[in-house]
Amino acid sequence: MTETDVAREGRPDVVQIRIPSLRLGPVVLAALALIVISLLLKGGVLARGYFIEDDFLFVGDAYEHNLTWDYLTRVHKGHLMPGALGLVWVLSRIAPYNWFLVAAVMLALQAAASVGMLVLLRRLFGDRVGILVPLVLYLFAPLTVPALSWWSAALNAVPLQVAMVFSLAAHARFLRDGTARHAWQGLAWAAFGMAFSTKGAFLPLVTFSLTTAYFGTGRTQGWVRAAVRELRARPRVWGAYAALLAGYALLYLLRQGTAGRRGRGSPRRTWPSASPAGCSAAPSRPGSSAAR
């Protein structure tokens, strides 16, 4: 708890500021212990990994290009991820094909995401023992391990997790105390998530759903009414989120296909030329000798 409670006592010109204690309770200590254990397990997985597939392509592209706007905004296989490409460029220039460096950065980002999840759960539910259940599910979910051990996937997935938990945590604090800067912090974290993954475009929708379904009156008056009421109550905040989404979509459309054939997600179908006799040859199957 870091919020400042302001209470007026006696005379109206006297303001007493009380800052809650920062002592770690048993729930927080247990949560931190779980985070450390999960990081040790994931660190063991990363220690046995190495670069594969698109990892080599990313490092090669980093050496072929300077750190320019054109390089950062290339749409690679349907993904607009300037933050991920920027991180690849920096790490490749520091120590190319250094798995220890890459694994350390990814593990540090995973640690940030884990701590962020703890912060989010405390903001939503307080220091209750029950928050350890969703925390454990997040920390030890096997679905997150493959993405972490493959660098190309981790570049998208892990920073997106960081952005999601801290964006929601900042917005939850905004809804609790009404301080506008926390709302803009949530917006900034959403932009951070979009910079690393196209799936970050869903973060504003997740934030809006949390606001209306959990903090709003959606459970008593219906979600649609709660959504309309929320849009009318905070038009600047949601207008900023809408502008962020529109800007990201526009940039994606303008830069689509800029990475060449290697960066496009939809393959082109080509037909063989007609035979000398005027009869079209049958299309060869992938993997056959004709296709090779």
DSSP 7-33: EE-SSTT-EEEEPPP----HHHHHHHH
pLDDT for the residue numbered 243: 96
Mean pLDDT of 222-228: 81
pLDDT for the residue numbered 188: 96
**pLDDT tens-digit readout, 17-36:** 343 444 678 999 999 999 99
pLDDT for the residue numbered 221: 65
With b meaning 16 or more CB within 10 Å and e meaning fewer, what string describes 239-255?
ebbeebbeebeeebeeb
pLDDT for the residue numbered 15: 41
pLDDT for the residue numbered 54: 85
**pLDDT tens-digit readout, 104-132:** 999 999 999 999 999 999 999 988 999 99
pLDDT for the residue numbered 25: 87
Positive or negative, the Cα torsion across 149, 150, 152, 157?
Answer: negative
The residue ranking higher by pLDDT, 245 or 267, is 245
Q: Which of 38-47, 205-214, 282-291 has the lowest mean pLDDT?
A: 282-291
- Mean model confidence pLDDT for the chain: 81
Task: Decide if pLDDT at 282 tops 60.
Answer: no
- What confidence category does residue 240 fall into, taking pLDDT thresholds of 50, 70 and 90? very high
Task: Decide if pLDDT at 219 tops 80.
Answer: no
**pLDDT tens-digit readout, 9-18:** 444 444 443 4
CA distance 203 to 166: 11
**pLDDT tens-digit readout, 152-186:** 889 999 999 999 999 999 999 999 888 899 999 99
